[in-house]
Amino acid sequence: MAPQLRILSNVIERLKNIKDDVTGHLYGVMYNNTLTVLTFSINLTDNVEANINHTMLQLHMSAEVYLCGILHVGQCEEKLPEMFQDIDITDNPLFFKYTHDNLKTQAYFYIHLKLEPVNDIKIINENDIRREFIYIRLRGSLPLIAQNDNIIEVLEESKKNIVSGKVGIHFPSKNAFIFNSENIEKDISLREILNIFDSEGNKNIKKDVKPTGIEDAVNAYILLKISGDRLPEENVKYAPVLQYIKRPFNSLECNLFIDTLSLVNLNVSSADLYGILVESMCRNIKLIEKCFEYQLQKSETSIKLPLPIHFKPQGFGHLITVVYPSGYSDKETMEYRENLHKILGLNMTRPYFRYGNAVKFYNDSQTESILINPHEAISTNDDIINGNRRVQIVQGLYMYHHYMQDNFDDNGWGCAYRSLQTIISWFRLQGYTEIPIPSHRLIQKCLVDIGDKPSNFVNSKQWIGSTEVGFVLESLLDISVKVLCASTGEEVSSLAPNLLHHFQTQGTPVMIGGGVLAHTILGISYDQITGDVKFLILDPHYTGSEHLPTIINKGWCGWKSKDFWKKDAFYNMCLPQRPVCI
């Protein structure tokens, strides 16, 4: 029976940006005779120097996401069956054709040496996937000792041990364990292991809303087996001995960090789950191996520990794992990142795989408590989004900085500082900068240093406005800003087209100051017929705790009408410009 075909909507959206006559590969997850295509890669023609190809890219995917088909954009030569040669996960590889004219898609399964057209392609979104699949983030630190740079051999050895079942998995949330066991009778599903029940009935409860920008993954940890299973008599092994080898050599010791993802169906059995998690470890180790190999080739530098990091580029519906040598700067990872951009068909104008872009996880000790993208929890209605309206909002992630945070009382004077912090958090989370969020004092010091303010400005409680915000951004982040002015609150609405253009092309949060108040504008909705304008506002004057339902329900983050702006105030807006780089 031919498999069912589903395609993640993100794939179709991304295809719109791919130029014509390009071939590529498709990656997806197969479960219960349904193939779900999650992503694609582009075949690089200038592949000579590139250190990544479609089979290697699979290692960057979560376990269970496999190379599953061929992609043609526009008119490409069909070479059957050679073009399917690297696809070994299925006997029925997918052939998917996309043409830009009228956004036409055609799909075929290659069955019995024939291309069978797929008539029913379901387009699904990320939430649909999340109802059936879950990410498992498996971690562990494995001690590694190499001699005279035989790291690769040692890694191969530990990979062999892992594949042969010498690992166990611990799920701390439910204190559950799975082992490589032949005890099939006790096989239970992942759903049972994690005690997850159908939440279909109550999924729309708003008070339970989770902050966005943070990925949900089930944590799991590796256990290393140090015992053997009982062997038949003839396989008795020799007793412990000590082999003492005397010779000069250099040892290399480190703790290998495994940090790997699997995209797993909730109904998968524990025996299958074990295999999947083992595969995820192997993918991770192969990436680590590549990272070591790369470093060993350029012998002039000292060896750094490869660290796996997970990313979710904007517009993608899945996670990607990349391994960088520990301590490498964004500049040092540039070449690698360029190749990733190319093979994933990403533009070369924005960073997606810098450290700052790394995905944040729940329950991760490093995740800060400050909320990310609270506006995504707002339920939008017809007033904001309808056929007549043009809507543009901030692109990517930012953090909601407001009064009283960091145990610092700035109630009554610090709103512009907080708005500035939110803007800087956006530049951090988009990977443009790694500078920490500056404190009020640091912002003041910066303004003194550039000669804008006298030295007694530091530690004062003086307000700043959009001009100062611009100065600080230029000075700390080395970016440029644009300024818009409105002489009355009424006039702010007339700047709607400028703001639409800003959010579309730059996508950065905008700081607006008027009268005694500063706000952050996150988006704009413009009715082309009535001329009505709505502003998505993030209010830094909030003094409460990081409680998302309060923030949304009390309107600290929400859509505001033009009456939000005071008629008699003069408004200045600071529009940070996005640097062009990767």
Instruction: Specify the amino acid at residue 458.
Output: V
Binds another protein (CB under 8 A): choice among 24, 28, 93, 140: 140
Cβ nearer to another protein, comparing 107 with 256: 256
Asked if residue 349 binds another protein (CB under 8 A), the reply is no
539 is catalytic: yes
Of residues 135, 108, 139, the one with CA closest to residue 121:
108
CB of 171 to another protein, least distance (A): 11
Using CB atoms within 10 A of its CB, is residue 490 exposed (0-12), middle (13-18) or buried (19+)? middle
Sole window of 2-10, 138-146, 277-285, 559-567 interacting with another protein (rule: CB under 8 A): 138-146
d(CA 427, CA 423): 7
Of residues 320, 387, 403, the one with CA closest to residue 359:
320
Beta bridge partners of 98: 73, 105
Return left, alpha or beta for 467; rule: phi > 0 is left, psi -120 to 50 is alpha, else beta.
alpha
d(CA 191, CA 171): 12
Binds another protein (CB under 8 A): choice among 205, 245, 529, 580: 245
Contact indicator for 519, 540 with CB cutoff of 8 Å: yes
Alpha carbons within 13 A on the beta-carbon side of 7: 23
Cβ nearer to another protein, comparing 40 with 292: 292
Cβ nearer to another protein, comparing 116 with 149: 149
CB of 17 to another protein, least distance (A): 36
Which listed residue (291, 502, 539, 557) is catalytic? 539
CB of 221 to another protein, least distance (A): 5
Binds another protein (CB under 8 A): choice among 238, 331, 529, 530: 238
| Number of chain residues interacting with another protein (CB under 8 A) | 52
d(CA 531, CA 290): 56
Asked if residue 358 binds another protein (CB under 8 A), the reply is no
Binds another protein (CB under 8 A): choice among 80, 103, 123, 224: 224
Asked if residue 297 binds another protein (CB under 8 A), the reply is no
Cβ nearer to another protein, comparing 207 with 247: 247
d(CA 469, CA 416): 8
Binds another protein (CB under 8 A): choice among 73, 142, 285, 319: 142
Of residues 131, 273, 330, the one with CA closest to residue 216:
131
Asked if residue 309 binds another protein (CB under 8 A), the reply is no
CB of 333 to another protein, least distance (A): 15
Using CB atoms within 10 A of its CB, is residue 524 exposed (0-12), middle (13-18) or buried (19+)? buried
Binds another protein (CB under 8 A): choice among 56, 124, 152, 254: 254
415 is catalytic: yes
Cβ nearer to another protein, comparing 363 with 505: 363
CA 166, distance to chain mean position in Å, is 31
CA angle, 142 then 143 then 147, to 5°: 130
- Dihedral (Cα; 458, 460, 463, 468), 10-degree rounding: 0
Which listed residue (415, 446, 557, 574) is catalytic? 415
Query: Active-site residues: which are they?
Result: 415, 539, 541
For another protein, the binding residues (CB under 8 A) are: 139-142, 145, 147, 168, 170, 177, 179, 181, 183, 221-231, 233, 236-255, 257, 302-305, 307, 326-327
